[in-house]
Amino acid sequence: MSKDRARSTPGRFHESFAVQAASDLVFKGLAQRSGSTEPLLHGWRLKVKKLSSLS
Protein backbone atom coordinates (compact mmCIF):
# COMPACT_ATOMS: atom_id res chain seq x y z
CA MET A 1 0.00 0.00 0.00
CA SER A 2 1.15 3.45 -0.81
CA LYS A 3 0.85 6.39 1.54
CA ASP A 4 -0.58 8.33 -1.42
CA ARG A 5 -3.72 6.19 -1.20
CA ALA A 6 -4.83 8.35 1.72
CA ARG A 7 -5.18 11.22 -0.77
CA SER A 8 -7.05 11.23 -4.05
CA THR A 9 -5.04 11.49 -7.23
CA PRO A 10 -6.57 12.84 -10.44
CA GLY A 11 -7.78 9.94 -12.54
CA ARG A 12 -7.21 7.42 -9.73
CA PHE A 13 -10.09 8.20 -7.41
CA HIS A 14 -11.01 4.52 -6.99
CA GLU A 15 -7.67 4.02 -5.20
CA SER A 16 -8.26 6.80 -2.67
CA PHE A 17 -9.09 5.81 0.90
CA ALA A 18 -11.36 8.85 1.13
CA VAL A 19 -13.38 7.77 -1.91
CA GLN A 20 -13.54 4.18 -0.68
CA ALA A 21 -14.73 5.33 2.74
CA ALA A 22 -17.36 7.58 1.18
CA SER A 23 -18.52 4.68 -0.99
CA ASP A 24 -18.84 2.50 2.11
CA LEU A 25 -20.92 5.18 3.81
CA VAL A 26 -23.26 5.38 0.83
CA PHE A 27 -23.62 1.68 0.08
CA LYS A 28 -23.08 0.05 3.48
CA GLY A 29 -24.45 2.80 5.73
CA LEU A 30 -28.05 1.62 5.55
CA ALA A 31 -27.06 -1.86 6.67
CA GLN A 32 -25.45 -0.55 9.85
CA ARG A 33 -27.22 -1.06 13.15
CA SER A 34 -29.47 1.92 13.91
CA GLY A 35 -28.14 3.64 10.77
CA SER A 36 -24.94 4.57 12.59
CA THR A 37 -21.99 5.12 10.27
CA GLU A 38 -19.44 5.41 13.07
CA PRO A 39 -18.23 1.77 12.82
CA LEU A 40 -17.48 2.28 9.12
CA LEU A 41 -15.67 5.55 9.73
CA HIS A 42 -13.72 4.10 12.63
CA GLY A 43 -12.54 1.20 10.48
CA TRP A 44 -11.26 3.58 7.81
CA ARG A 45 -9.54 5.76 10.43
CA LEU A 46 -7.68 2.68 11.70
CA LYS A 47 -6.57 1.74 8.17
CA VAL A 48 -5.19 5.23 7.49
CA LYS A 49 -3.56 5.43 10.92
CA LYS A 50 -1.89 2.04 10.42
CA LEU A 51 -0.61 3.10 7.01
CA SER A 52 0.80 6.38 8.34
CA SER A 53 2.58 4.57 11.18
CA LEU A 54 4.41 2.31 8.70
CA SER A 55 6.37 5.21 7.25
- At 1 the pLDDT is 46
Q: Is 37 exposed, middle or buried (0-12, 13-18, 19+ CB in 10 A)?
A: middle
* Average pLDDT across the chain, whole number: 80
14-24 average pLDDT score: 86
Burial class for 10, CB neighbours closer than 10 Å (0-12, 13-18, 19+): exposed
Looking at the chain, the whole-number percentage of residues with pLDDT higher than 70 is 76
pTM score of the predicted model: 0.66
* Cα gap 28→37, rounded to integer Å: 9
- pLDDT tens across 22-45, in order? 999 988 888 887 778 888 999 999
CB contact at 8 A, 7 and 48: no
pLDDT of amino acid 7: 55
